[in-house]
Amino acid sequence: MEKSVRYGSIALALVCLYASNSYAALEVITSSEKNTLKDIERQYNIDPQLISVNDKFSRHNKKANDIEELKKKIVSEKARYEELVGQLQDKILAKANMPAFYRQIEDTVNGIDSLETRTRLDTQTLEGEREDIQAEYKSINAKRSEKSQKLFKLKKDITDRLVADLSKSSSELPVNINGSTECSKFQSIADCLKESKSYILSNTRNESPFLTDKSVLLDYEVLDANMNMHGELNYKVAMKFKPSYNKKIDAIINEELGLKSAMITLVSNVDADWYINGNKVGTGKKLFHEIPLGKHGILASYQSEDKSSVENIEGNGVFNYNFDKPQVANSVERLPEQPKQAEKAKPKAKYTLFSDNTSMPKGDAKKVTTEKGYEYFMGVKPSTKKQVIEFTNEPTEK
């Protein structure tokens, strides 16, 4: 295809060159290969399974938190039992209502036993659920692995085709461009085109995935050029390059097939526990984690609450999972008020003397009457007889 571009030979405005219709003969990924990619995506669609297991994992975490609460209650009830036993002797000596007191101890013991039984059974059930959830995640990961193998095979097929096509002696990349640039009014068309040639070649190599800065130029021809009275030059250039397989092509293939990873940022307003696909990746308000592109289950857990979702990772991103924190009293420590003291008299103004960096009260300054007015000499010692007379207005002893 042909694309118009504009740049200046003195002040470059824009250089954006691209291939002509003949460039379409070279494709990084063909339509057939794109159809193969779609088939792989359909065959290994893990969305429903991933959403289901992520929900199960969230409920599993809630049950685990409930069991922890039961354990805390057992500890509390056992402490209560010890307290009652400690009162037994005093109750006997006081001849208190012992049947009621014994029933209280008995109820506490039975309550502890009931809580321990419930905790044991819930823990066993939870372990069974954990194994089922881990099996589901394992199945999902197996599908991911199979999908990756097929994608890598597809990449190899694409790469082999490109290397074979581009390494042929007859392989050429023709590029036709229409462009414009601003020349000096005193330049000829030939001089302006000659000065612009390096920019045209450099940007053509940068724009095409099949070219590098070392790509060989096979042919360069100016097909048409004209300049108006304002120095604006319009031209049409035809070029031919020797294409080659390079890292730009490899990056395009990896991105199209989802064979690269991304860095995601997990953010919360609390120190949450973070899980990705059932595996804990850390705890905190902000975590960074590298993850392959594709669908992943993300879960944040804080105390007895969970936040989860299934995300399609297509590149670097930030995921926020905020929780409602319980309201707490203001924790700012207030200092006791200081008793008010009687206002002190304001100190006399001081003047800082730069000669000796000292400060003296205003009243200590010596005033000298002169024809010009009052002059203050503060903290400066007279060094001559004349200064003694000027500073003190007193004659010196002869």
Distance of CA 88 to the CA centre of its chain: 62
C-alpha span between 86 and 392 (Å, rounded): 94
Lowest mean pLDDT among 13-17, 82-86, 297-301: 13-17
Q: Residue 364 corresponds to which tokens in the numbers above?
A: 């200590």
pLDDT recorded at residue 5: 39
pLDDT tens-digit profile of 183-240? Answer: 887 889 999 999 889 989 998 999 999 999 999 999 999 999 998 888 898 999 999 9
pLDDT recorded at residue 260: 82
C-alpha span between 71 and 123 (Å, rounded): 11
pLDDT recorded at residue 83: 93
pLDDT at 365 over 50: no
pLDDT at 13 over 70: no
90-121 burial: b if 16+ Cβ within 10 Å, else e? eeeeeeeeeeeeeeeeeebeeebeebeeebee
Name beta bridge partners: 252: none
Cα–Cα separations (whole angstroms), residue 5 to 185, 346, 347: 20, 77, 77
pTM (2 d.p.): 0.61
By the 8 A CB rule, do 189 and 233 touch?
A: yes
**What does the pLDDT average to over 346-355?**
38
**What does the pLDDT average to over 311-334?**
72
**What does the pLDDT average to over 248-267?**
91
Q: Specify burial of residue 281 (Cβ count, 10 A radius: 0-12, 13-18, 19+).
A: middle
C-alpha span between 2 and 4 (Å, rounded): 7
The residue count of the chain comes to 398
